[in-house]
Structure 1
């Protein structure tokens, strides 16, 4: 039976915690994310309580500084697949900003092009132009 799920208008916001919010925000900015909102702890501004960073093509990520009382405590390293019309540019920007190459950019047998890195926090990011249906 075919899948008739309507995914039009679907937006994904990936969520994770980070150890060093300043380093992560610098890395995200270098990759191409834009800050939508960042809320910091009034007593310790180095602690991000909640942040929302948007991807220009839609969707984005939410994160906060790792802390025991966080709603996302213990999420640890995460993985995300970022669909973009120019995956090579996003990949190159990620590497230039300090990411470690896991899988170089290649043309995939199933269509599209993709590669993956780990960010400074150890999260796994895949960049590609293949849009899952």
Structure 2
């Protein structure tokens, strides 16, 4: 398996709930680094999707490098997850809903090919789930 070279990046107010949601979708945990003083704060985490997709995230309240202009904003990201088959779209959609997602679009066939669905995670990030792998 090749290591990903592009990572989608997120922030969560409740990192443990974020981890539970990502795991319910089917992400695989690779690394979780917690704050030594407050283990509820995730300084850095990496989760992989399928053979070559991945995301990194941390807690919104974590302290960044002094002088950094980065602002950890919650609930403003969107991500497209490619699944192997049309049936997988329905399965991942149902797992997301069971994990507390809000439906943005029930599974439906697309004119350009494949099937897709959309959900928002409990913190408002939007996830598109589809079988269309792109060109």
Q: Please indicate the TM-score interval, normalised by the length of the shorter structure.
A: 0.7 to 0.9
| Matched positions, count | 125
Q: Which residue of 1 aligns with 2:48?
A: 54
Name the TM-score, length of structure 1 as normaliser.
Answer: 0.86
Name the TM-score, length of structure 2 as normaliser.
Answer: 0.84
State whether structure 2 residue 76 is matched by structure 1 residue 74. no
Give the whole-Å Cα distance in 2 for the aligned partners of 1:98 and 1:61. 20
Structure 2 unmatched runs, 5+: none
State whether structure 2 residue 118 is matched by structure 1 residue 116. yes
Could you report, residue by residue, the CA deviation over 1:57-100 in whole angstroms, capped at 9, with x for unpaired residues? 32111000003633753333210000111222111111111111
RMSD of aligned Cα (Å) = 1.8
Give the whole-Å Cα distance in 2 for the aligned partners of 1:60 and 1:66. 19
| 2:41/2:62 contact within 8 Å kept | no
Give the whole-Å Cα distance in 1 for the aligned partners of 2:62 and 2:16. 19
Q: Which residue of 2 aligns with 1:97?
A: 99
